[in-house]
A and B are shown apart, each in its own frame.
Chain A
Amino acid sequence: MADLRTKQVFTTGEVAQICNVSQQTVIRCFDSGRLQGFRVPGSRFRRIPRDALLAFMKSNQIPLDQLDSGRKRVLVVDDDEAIVEMFKELLERDGRFEVRTASTGYDAGITTEQFRPDVILLDYKLPDVNGNVVCRTIRANPNYEHMRIIVISGVADPEEIRDLLAAGADEFIKKPFDINEVIDRVAEMVKVA
């Protein structure tokens, strides 16, 4: 059952178990369209994707704690290993967050798709692509609409900051920073979400 946090596709049986209802109920909801899903091609088996399940559970006020730990997911993107390590430790020690890391823009893209973070801590200067390109790419995807992006950078140029905010960042933190401040800001972001 530890898989449940990462599982992406569920069977009707698993859904019944998670939601604490009978399998028949699940099948009925599936057939009536109240639960989105798809059939395995070439068979009659029903499958339910994760976000469909989450949406269903939310709309029916079914508690999510089996599926979801309740911790917010944070993606830290920075090419400097020391920074990344520090952030990871900092956030995990806090207890409210689940942290993944990426060191390039490309990695960030892939992890975003897999991990579906709630907050992205993004360094402006990345080896392969600029921070604001990453911002724009994420904002271009409607599925990531709920994600919050915080850009962290040593650059203090107001012009550049303006550009970043225009590109889709929600916040800007200057290096070096006060760690408590950072955590507070992150927490604030996800509360709104």
Chain B
Amino acid sequence: MRERSELVLSQLDQLPTLPAVVTRLIAATTSATSDASEVVSIIETDASLTALVLRMVRRADLGVRTDAMTVSRAVSVLGFSAVRNLVLSVRVFECFHTPQGSAIDVAACRALWLHALGVACVSELLAKAAGQRDRAGDAFVAGLLHDIGKLAFCAVLPKAYARVMEDTRRDGLCVCDAERDAFGLDHTVAGKGLATRWDLPQPMIDCIWLHHQTWDSLPSGVADPFLVRVVHVADELIRARGLGFSGYESADATSRPDSDPLFSEDMIRKVMGDFPDRFEPLAAMFDLAGEGEESLSTQALLEANRELSRANAQLVERGRGLESRVRVLETLHRFHSSLRGDERVSDVCVMCVNCVCGALESDGMLLYLGDRGGRAVHAAAVRPKRAEADRLYVEAGELGDVPSARAGDAGGFRRATNVDDRIWARCGMAQATRPKWRLDIPCGANMVAALVVATDEYAIASLGFSGQDLAGLASAFAASIMSARRRVESERVAEEVIDLNRRLRGAQDELLRMQSVSMVAAMAAGAAHELNNPLSVISGRAQMELAGIDDEERREGLETIVDQTKRATGIVNDLMAFAKPNPPEPVSVPLLDLLEKRRQHCQAALDLDGERITVSVADPEATVFADPIHVRDILDAVIRNAIEAGGADSVHVQINSLSRQSDETVRIVVEDDGPGMSRSVLARALDPFFSHRPAGRGRGLGLSRAYRLAEINHGRLRIDSVLDHGTKVTIELPARP
């Protein structure tokens, strides 16, 4: 045993000395006459130490500008003792740090170091708590170095010591015993030897050697018993805390530390309370996972958790609101996607009711306050069990109270107190046992429709639509209804426009025709007038010649001249009469009589055989109010045209005087079953001087003149004809003045 211990001791001698800076620092901090400036200067001599100190300042995050930091400033910022403690810890640690060693070694070192650091902090705190503030620095250093022996073993005999540590942990032995078994000496002795070699102050050496002794078993020769007691208690406390490797991994660790009268329970409690704040920054410097960090992170976690739950609650709330909105939007989407864009108003009403009643699964109806200033009501009734909806048109007068708009109606379902049951019944729905609710559908300031459903309050609430949502839905319905209505109106307008266009075209054509006729007439009159004079001269001279001639032949010739001039005169007269017919002198003309006369006249004049012209009169008492001569001329012209244009043996003419078109006009229809007119011929039929007859062309004035005469008697003449299907001439004349 003795040889082993001596061997170990000799090996211990080979440990490197503490760096000079550390010795000096220790000397400076433990001597009574040291001050900050000395420490500062010591630090400044070592570049890495300076860097360390500055790093600490930055880490401390005190909000201090670090670019112009010096050690002395750092010291003043961080505190003298903090800097000293840090520096010492770092340097001593580095002494025993064996990066080349195995993981176990490194872990062991770290564990040991954690313990040492913990004890150092507690020692410092204890010293302060016990009222010896000026010894606090010493206490820190003492605590830091108290287990230096273990570190020595670690550095020199790492594998052996690792085994020792393992045995201790496993078997629950006291580490000192294990050490003695393994090496022949324990860490206190080894530490004492090492400290002596390093020339540490005596109190330090005492601490290292005696820190396991209780307060009442200390030898009397100890220079500074207070320090030893502090370190002892600190060691116990740290062991109790289970920080790092303390050597007594047994049930003892949980027992209360030996009560030292110097340190009361309260003191100890306070010290342990302050411990994390002191320990953690230091531990952080060495990147040591300390238990202090655990509490910090726990706290942070708790805080975060609180925040999260708060945010969560808010989100849930929002989520609920959004859900309801989503449902409304879905409903709207369904509604809109089923719109095709060409529905009637009643179709849209049905869709609206379907939408809402489908969701509520109840009977409902939509009352559309129709176009005539709300006097008429469309109703669409829906029973959700059936596939379709019923549509009705209900006069508002039949019903009782029709829901009307009140100013300031907000959205949402209201109890419908003024919906008459008659409307309900009229829509074919069973007597509603459930209460009726009403949703107004306004468009701007006007009420467009009202939706009425019979359901429970519960069903409405379970729909989950807010008042605002329902208002949105209602306005969507209103928009659809209004747009359907406008579409219908615009269709109607379009139809009217087309009709108007057509009539305008017709009127234009008429006007054009009349203008052309009167132009031709004026021209004809002018020409005719000019012709009169030459004709007079020709006729007169011929007559004068006749007076003195006896020769038959010559007489014949001259008589021919006279006849032809008479004929020419006839043409001229026709033209002038056409151009400017005599103004009508209307009287009440009995039609039957007139028609009969014309029939006979035409029959004779055109030399027809058989009953080619027939007359039928619906009302024998019928009279027209017009110039009788004009009426005669019209009828003659039309009949002649029918017979002559059609050919002498293929036409039957029928004159019908139909029952009065209205009380205002009488209609005379002349129909023939002749060859009819093609479209191009029909277009020109009323033109003056136009004749389509291949042979025996007349003057072409007959129909044209008839047209004019009808016009100046406030009547109308119209020709309808289809090729091969005959011709129909319709003459309308006023019945009364």
Contacts and interface: CB of A to CB of B under 8 A. Distances in A.
B559 to A, nearest CB: 13
Interface in B74-98: none
A62 interface: no
Given A156-B576, A158-B582, A178 B543 contact: yes
Contacts of A180: 543
B544 A86 contact: yes
B532 A90 contact: no
Contacts of A193: none
Interface in B556-593: 565-566, 569, 572-573, 576, 580, 582-583
B580 A83 contact: no
A145 B362 CA distance: 110
21 contacts: A82-B533, A82-B537, A83-B536, A83-B540, A87-B540, A90-B540, A154-B528, A154-B532, A154-B536, A156-B576, A157-B580, A158-B582, A175-B532, A176-B532, A176-B536, A176-B538, A176-B539, A177-B536, A177-B539, A179-B539, A179-B540
B45 to A, nearest CB: 146
Contacts of B535: 175-176
Nearest to B530: A154
Contacts of B572: 154
Contacts of B534: 82
Interface string A165-193: 00000000001111110000000000000
B597 interface: no
A80 interface: yes
A155 B582 CA distance: 12
Contacts of B540: 83, 86-87, 90, 176-177, 179
Given A176-B569, A177-B536, 9 more contacts: A83-B533, A90-B544, A154-B572, A175-B535, A176-B538, A176-B540, A176-B565, A178-B543, A180-B543
B541 interface: yes
Which of B532, B538, B576 neighbours the largest number of chain A CB atoms within 10 Å of its CB?
A: B532
B529 interface: yes
Contacts of A159: 583
A89 interface: yes
Interface in A114-171: 154-159
Contact of A155 (B529, B536, B539): B529
A76 to B, nearest CB: 12
Interface string A91-119: 00100000000000000000000000000
User: What does DSSP make chain A's interface, helix, strand, loop or mixed?
Assistant: helix
Band of interface residues on A = 20 to 34
A89 B582 CA distance: 36
B532 to A, nearest CB: 3
Contacts of A155: 529
A123 to B, nearest CB: 9
Contacts of A87: 540
B533 A175 contact: yes
A87 B544 CA distance: 10
A83 to B, nearest CB: 6
A179 B546 CA distance: 11
A157 to B, nearest CB: 7
Interface string B462-478: 00000000000000000
Interface of A: 80, 82-83, 86-87, 89-90, 93, 154-159, 175-180
Interface SS of chain B: helix, strand, loop or mixed? helix
Most chain B beta-carbon contacts within 10 A, residue among A82, A87, A177, A179: A179
Q: Give the size range of B's interface with the partner.
A: 20 to 34
A89 B544 contact: yes
A83 B537 contact: yes
A38 to B, nearest CB: 46
Nearest to B576: A156
Nearest to A123: B533
A153 to B, nearest CB: 8
B537 A86 contact: yes
A125 to B, nearest CB: 8
Nearest to A180: B543
Interface in B509-554: 528-529, 532-541, 543-544
Contacts of B543: 178-180
B573 A156 contact: yes
B543 to A, nearest CB: 4
A175 B541 CA distance: 13
A179 B562 CA distance: 11
Contacts of A175: 532-533, 535-536
A83 B538 CA distance: 9
Pick the 8 closest A-B CB pairs, nearest first: A154-B532, A176-B536, A82-B537, A175-B536, A176-B539, A179-B543, A175-B532, A176-B535
A90 B543 CA distance: 10
Contacts of B580: 157
Contacts of B582: 158
Contacts of B539: 176-177, 179
A159 B532 CA distance: 19
B42 to A, nearest CB: 147
B603 to A, nearest CB: 30
Nearest to A181: B543
Among B534, B541, B543, B582, residue most surrounded by chain A Cβ atoms (within 10 Å): B543
Among A90, A175, A176, chain B packs the most CB atoms within 10 A around the CB of A176
A94 to B, nearest CB: 10
A117 to B, nearest CB: 20
A88 to B, nearest CB: 11
Contacts of A177: 536, 539-540
Nearest to B531: A154
A68 B533 CA distance: 34
A86 B541 contact: yes
Contacts of A86: 536-537, 540-541, 544
Contacts of B536: 83, 86, 154, 175-177
B682 to A, nearest CB: 34
B213 to A, nearest CB: 162
A62 B631 CA distance: 63
B557 to A, nearest CB: 17
A87 B541 CA distance: 9
B224 to A, nearest CB: 160
Residue among B537, B539, B576 with the most chain A CB within 10 A? Answer: B537
Contacts of A82: 533-534, 537
Nearest to A87: B540
A155 B576 CA distance: 9
A179 B540 CA distance: 6
B452 to A, nearest CB: 77
Interface in B84-141: none
A180 B540 CA distance: 9
Contacts of B583: 159
Contacts of A157: 580
A83 B543 CA distance: 13
Nearest to A153: B532
A155 B569 CA distance: 12
Contacts of B537: 80, 82-83, 86
Contacts of A158: 582
